[in-house]
Structure 1
Amino acid sequence: MTEDISNDENKTMVARPQTVMLMGTSSHVGKSILATALCRIFHQWGRRVVPFKAQNMALNSYVTKDGLEMGRAQVAQAEAAGLAPAVDMNPVLLKPTGNACSQVVVDGRPIGNLSAKEYHKGKSVELWQNVTAALGRLATQYDTIVIEGAGSPAEINLKADDIVNMRVARYLHAPVLLIADIDRGGSLAALVGTLELLTPEERALVRGLVINKFRGDVTLLQPAVDFLEKKTGKPVLGIVPHIDDLGIDDEDSVSLEEKEAASDMKKELTLAVIETPKISNFTDFEALADEPDAQVVYVKTVAELRAAKPDAILLPGSKNTTQDLLHLRRHGLEGAIAEAVAGGTPLIGICGGYQMMGEEVRDPLHTESENDAVRGLGYLPMVTTFAAEKRTVQVKADCPALEFLDGALCAKGLPGYEIHMGRTDFTVPVRHPFHITWQGAERVNVWDGALRDDGQCFGTYIHGLFDHDGFRRQFLNVLRHKKGLPELPIQRNRRREKERAYDRLAETVRNALDMKQLCAIMKTAAAECKEWHDDGPVDTMKELLQNE
């Protein structure tokens, strides 16, 4: 459907916002991307639309203007909706640290590390009040809320303490779209099976089915559509095609498998990202991967690193720096990196990767792990000590003259953010490549990062440096010069291309979904619901339904 069915009624703030909730038959079926598409579509129609996900589990996070931490998926959805990211869009964030434990971030601030059992058998339902409070604030500002679930609503072992799937749908009386990924296979069985495992009350909330990531002639799928509608009594609202090269930031490292599968293309420059078990914020390198002359490959082994023959090695952030550092050592990657650096390959570290490049990483409070201290890689004269408080702040920085290899990188107004618990001290004076001029709304005079004397290795705490078009091109041009290749002018406009990507995604999904029927479903659901029920924490979904 390409018809623009927006009208004055849709654009007028109502007593309660219209809602739609996207749930999946499993993780990674495309909920985040489809939610992003709907945010863009409603934004294009002039609605005041906002994304929401009660609880996110991801290592890719972001820092808002007010210094609060949230999941990256809702950042992309906010951008698609024309909004600045705000923590109310994702009030609970779980950041896995290892050994079935996660750092729990509530309303943008970490409250500690909990095991999966501790979280799911007590803490999660306590946080339901934070979820409803965030929804209440959003409801006063927006007329449409696009809600993303997590995993599957049919995970029986987690349902009693659920605060992200059906509990949210029941609380809002939100119509649910159930999504399956046909590219994986078994999508029909997944849709039917998921519905069968829901209670009658939960099934009633599912108002439509969506088949995602379809390749080929959609008419060949009609018998399957007819079967699904007859079997389930639910309409299939659309069959969304597989979209290549979305150009939108990924939610978490599960998508690295797809990146690895697509990394066999050959470009003039190869950048190797060391993929550690607790890699975080790999979105720092997305802009580099979009350049026409650079390919970014993620390597896990010595053999992969050597086979890549990279022009630069990138050490990414980590949610467990000491454990990832020990992983490099145990699996021979420390020696392989040293071998490459000795041969002239530059090494760049960001956040956790930067900390690893020092002489030692200390964790006396066991903030991230049980390791008191771990010897670093030794490329920079510094020691990092983990503190009790996490540093989360947006920054703006200048790069006065970073003497990188045989070139120099210069840039002003580099936007980025810091998100780390480590505090770094230098054992001898060093050259700092970045001058931070703003931290949040405060003007400052702070130097960041460290540059090795020979200009071959540098690190920084600033995430997002390579999103700056000029800095990114200068960096690649220095690598090109080292290989005897001519320099290139700026090739990409990152911000403009992201906007085009959101528009392209919206057009594809708008053409694939029956938007007229979806809007009618949303309008009817909002009219049927007179109020939201503040049920508070309960032990089971059955009790929740009885309370209502």
Structure 2
Amino acid sequence: MTARTLMVQGTASSVGKSLLTTALCRIYARRGLKVAPFKSQNMALNSAVCPDGAEIGRAQYAQAEAARVSPRAEMNPILLKPETTSGSQVVVMGKVLGSMHFRDFHKRKLELREVVGQALDTLRRDFDLLVIEGAGSPAEVNLKSRDLVNMWVAERADAPVVLVTDIERGGAMAALVGTLELLEPHERERVRALVVNKFRGDPRLFDDGVRFLEERLRVRVAGVIPHLGDTGIASEDSLDLKPRGSGRGAARVVLVRLPRLSNFDEFEPLAREPGLEVHWCERPEELEGADLVVLPGTKCTANDLAWLRRTGLAAAVVRRARSGGAVLGICGGYQMLGERVLDPLGVESPEPEVPGLGLLPIVTRFEREKATAPVVLRLAEGLPLLESAGGQEARGYEIHCGRVTVAPGANAFGTMLRRGPEPMRAEEGCTVGSVAGTLVHGLFENEGVRRALVRALGAEVSEGPAVDPYERLADHFEAALDMTHLDRVVGV
């Protein structure tokens, strides 16, 4: 079997490539095709863990869910997780290769093409259709000689291209015309459809724009997509980190916006609860009036801990905890709540040892090998603000280099029942009074845990059956796309 291919490229970053790819995965999957997403290289601090422990971009994990298939490393063979303004941790085929300056990574792109090509070939043998996502813009001429994500991939996969732009940011027609003008003739021939995304108002108001584009570019405009708003699908790096929720009278959950914040998508289900206001903070005074303060995950624990101290947030969190205010730490945030963070190998920081906030009796030591696994955790009884969730089993995932040692006799956050495919029984996390911490991401994606928190805060609980966000997304895009044209382009 050699899968057919369709590639979604964009005029810039954040124009809607990921969502269009996700929608197409569900549209074709519900027609009975075996569909897989593919993005050769992604840059994101929000990642996800496949069933076998491989780490991939959060968007490709969501696209696999939309396609109703199990996510796997081949769907995102290269993942870059920024650590500084000029360097990233490089994950290849789901495993950490190392940390590199962007200049050094750029030099290795040509050899990494072999990895990308093998991943493509493997997926094409296993599926009927690959929906491929590009990155940034294919018109970045300074990067073309070592392209790893756009037209090189389209040619390697022999994929026709849909070019999408975002009309909300302005300059959409110039972006489409300019992008095609900068492509080589053989690249331009691959562009078989244009999509204008995030249109507000009646799409018929853009009829003149459609005529102009089709006459000027000789490419079919295959859709003007109305603005959808909150999709209900986990974000990658595009979440609007502003207050979200019902506002006046709502219980207030404050999340600390760490400089190297990671996996923030796990809090989006909280932001969608009608009785909660979820607020991202960067100043100590913003903790006032919070019903719960959360220290989330981070790519650089020691550096973000230093930032907490510089901003005064560290002292504010300690004062809150000592006065009985609820504080929850997740992964890197949990490590910060401990006594010490040790990094003798320089895995994340040049500092071999830094003091934690001293609120939990734990010590973290960083190791080179990253622990990545889907997990099942049974929550302990009596957790702050999660009392009614005691005994519940929650699914989540671990993704960390820090190994946490808990002092003997300390109360656990829960009991680990499964890590990857292996059943087990081991205490996990720690809690002291109103302070709790766990290495497990994704707790609030479990409805029972989320509702336990909402009830404990005295807030309104969402009612009614959950709507499948992938179905809603697919319906929205399918109604606006010229699927007859796209089917001809794909060859189905």
Same fold, TM-score > 0.5, yes or no: yes
Partner-residue secondary structure (3-state), 2:457: helix
Distance change in 2, residues 1:492/1:277 (3 Å): farther
Shift of 1:386: 0.5
Whether 1:471 and 2:449 are equivalent positions in the alignment is yes
Deviation >6 Å, runs of 4+:
none
What's the CA shift string for 1:106-162, capped at 9, x where partnerless?
111001000100001x22221111111111111111111100001111112222211
Structure 2 distance, partners of 1:162, 1:266, is 49
Shift of 1:301: 2.2
Moved more, 366-375 or 50-59: 366-375
Distance change in 2, residues 1:282/1:197 (3 Å): same
Specify the alignment match of 2:287 in structure 1: 305
Moved more, 151-160 or 340-349: 340-349
Specify the alignment match of 1:66 in structure 2: 52
- Tell whether the 8 Å contact from 1:273 to 1:314 is kept in structure 2 after alignment: yes
- Tell whether the 8 Å contact from 1:20 to 1:146 is kept in structure 2 after alignment: yes
Whether 1:503 and 2:471 are equivalent positions in the alignment is yes
Structure 2 distance, partners of 1:406, 1:138, is 42
Equivalent in 234, 246, 249 of residue 219 of structure 2: 234
AA of the residue aligned to 2:261: I
Specify the alignment match of 1:179 in structure 2: 164
Moved more, 225-234 or 311-320: 225-234
Partner-residue secondary structure (3-state), 1:383: strand
Structure 1 distance, partners of 2:32, 2:85, is 46
Structure 1 distance, partners of 2:385, 2:481, is 51
- Tell whether the 8 Å contact from 1:239 to 1:512 is kept in structure 2 after alignment: yes
Shift of 1:363: 1.2
Structure 2 distance, partners of 1:284, 1:387, is 25
Shift of 1:329: 0.9
Partner-residue secondary structure (3-state), 1:279: coil
Structure 1 distance, partners of 2:178, 2:462, is 50
Shift of 1:291: 1.4
Structure 2 distance, partners of 1:118, 1:333, is 35
Specify the alignment match of 1:519 in structure 2: 487
Distance change in 2, residues 1:336/1:489 (3 Å): closer
CA RMSD in angstroms, aligned pairs only: 1.8
Whether 1:57 and 2:43 are equivalent positions in the alignment is yes
Whether 1:88 and 2:74 are equivalent positions in the alignment is yes
Structure 2 distance, partners of 1:382, 1:224, is 60
Specify the alignment match of 1:361 in structure 2: 341
Identity percentage of aligned residues: 45
What count of residue pairs does the alignment treat as equivalent?
A: 492
Whether 1:152 and 2:132 are equivalent positions in the alignment is no
Shift of 1:427: 4.2
Whether 1:287 and 2:272 are equivalent positions in the alignment is no
- Tell whether the 8 Å contact from 1:291 to 1:492 is kept in structure 2 after alignment: no
Specify the alignment match of 1:129 in structure 2: 114
Structure 1 distance, partners of 2:481, 2:396, is 36
Partner-residue secondary structure (3-state), 1:318: coil
**Aligned ranges for residues 5-20 of structure 1 at < 5 Å?**
15-20=1-6
Whether 1:250 and 2:241 are equivalent positions in the alignment is no
Structure 1 distance, partners of 2:247, 2:11, is 32
Shift of 1:180: 0.7
Specify the alignment match of 1:435 in structure 2: 415
Structure 2 distance, partners of 1:504, 1:475, is 27
- Tell whether the 8 Å contact from 1:404 to 1:478 is kept in structure 2 after alignment: no
Specify the alignment match of 2:190 in structure 1: 205
Structure 2 distance, partners of 1:490, 1:196, is 49
Specify the alignment match of 1:318 in structure 2: 298
Whether 1:265 and 2:265 are equivalent positions in the alignment is no
Moved more, 356-365 or 329-338: 329-338
Partner-residue secondary structure (3-state), 1:377: coil
Partner-residue secondary structure (3-state), 2:42: strand
Specify the alignment match of 1:33 in structure 2: 19
Specify the alignment match of 2:8 in structure 1: 22
TM-score by length of 2: 0.96
**Aligned ranges for residues 290-439 of structure 1 at < 5 Å?**
290-306=272-288, 309-404=289-384, 407-427=387-407, 429-439=409-419
Specify the alignment match of 2:260 in structure 1: 278
What's the CA shift string for 1:394-453, capped at 9, x where partnerless?
11111141332694531333111111000112345311121011111111111110001x
- For structure 2, the residue ranges without an aligned partner over 5 or more in a row are none
- For structure 1, the residue ranges without an aligned partner over 5 or more in a row are 1-14, 525-548
